Amino acid sequence: MKRRPHLALRLPRWQEASVYGGGAVLLASGVAWLILHDFLTAKGDFGPQPNPAEHPTLIVHGVVAAAFLVVGGAMIPVHVRLGLASGRNRVSGIATGVGLLFLAATGAGLYYVGDEGWRAAVSVVHWGVGLAAAAVLAWHAAAGKRR
């Protein structure tokens, strides 16, 4: 039987703060956009208009998402590689990684897909996975803290 070495998988403080802080901003800005877009439209002369706060909310969401991708990429050489090798929290870690990759892909789709029908479908998938990803990330973090 192969013995697994004890590996220090705890994130450095800057990465932990970036993941938790960035994740919180992404969740808050995503939920804020969803509420603004679906429930708080402005009344205009020609019918409902987008809420004026929608665009700044999307800017914050996009900028923080780009930074979050950089932080996530910086985790691959140590945290992800050692985590996979150790076998600890593997299911929650893989679920977190797959969810974040899916969010990055659907986020790019929202930016580049021109067809409004497809864009609407991608949007629903993106925010659905985003809400689930917040729970999966919390699960992964909690599992890591328990050890």
What whole-number distance in Å separates Cα of residue 28 and Cα of residue 12? 24
Helices 90-112, 116-146: crossing angle, 10 deg rounding: 160
Q: Is the pTM higher than 0.95?
A: no
Say what the pLDDT of residue 147 is: 65
Tens-digit pLDDT profile for residues 33-43: 999 999 998 88
Place of tokens 């019918």: 47
What does the angle CA 93 – CA 106 – CA 73 come to, to the nearest 5 degrees?
A: 45
What whole-number distance in Å separates Cα of residue 33 and Cα of residue 58? 7
Tens-digit pLDDT profile for residues 102-135: 999 999 999 999 899 999 999 999 999 999 999 9
Q: Is 119 helix (H, G, I), strand (E, B) or coil?
A: helix
Structure tokens belonging to residue 131:
């809400």
Q: Report the percentage of the chain scoring pLDDT > 90.
A: 73
Structure tokens belonging to residue 42:
């402005």
Say what the pLDDT of residue 106 is: 97
